[in-house]
Amino acid sequence: MALKEHPFPNKTWDTCAVVGNGGILTNSSCGGIIDSAQFVIRCNLPPLGKGYEKNVGTKTDIVTANPSIFLEKYGALMGRRRPFVESLHSYGKSRLLLPAFSYGHNTPVCMRAVYSIEDFESPIQPIFFNPEYLQSLALFWRSRGLRAVRLSTGIIMASIALEHCANVHLYGFWPFSNHPHGLHALTNHYYDDRQTKTKFHSMPAEFDLLLQLHSQGVLRLHLGDCQPGEK
């Protein structure tokens, strides 16, 4: 994943949790079971405080950042950068995975994020996607029938987890507007109802492929509330 060397060479874990940000996590009480995983991956700098802990947990080993977040929330890091660095506190000493070299237009803002982390001496460690890895991953999923302009962060991180983990658990992966059990309306994310840019991603098609892997026992999709003692 890093440009020159892999941050986890030959490393494997027994249990990994990949946490999407779907509204299905609202009132799910999944925080405890998520935090019990050996390795926890989170997507796109999601909020972990403000009472969300009960549903999504706090443990973080890798968190990704979409450059659009830097543009929309932090003014492309062209001005004050302290608010961005302070927003990273909840992720502790985890690794921040950036697509700095995957698309040329992402490089400047991603590098400003790296320099901000260094300048403010944040304990989080920036790492980078290898563009060749992302290309090979896109070809793999295309060979499985996925037709999308770009893979979503969720399916990329689920793929990485499958390479390093014996047991992969997915939470917050539900790209539909109603709960699968109660059928009540859901917000798009557990923290807001902002809509995803569907012109780039094909969330329902990705979900269908992940559901197939769930049915085959390759990974486990958690599509409901979590019960005490659940594994």
Check if the beta carbon of residue 91 is closer than 8 Å to that of residue 60.
yes
Check if the beta carbon of residue 206 is closer than 8 Å to that of residue 8.
no
Active-site residue set: 201
> How far apart (Å, rounded) are the C-alpha atoms in residues 126 and 111?
10
As a residue count, the chain comes to 231
DSSP 225: P
Check if the beta carbon of residue 133 is closer than 8 Å to that of residue 1.
yes
Based on C-alpha coordinates, what's the Rg of the chain?
Answer: 17
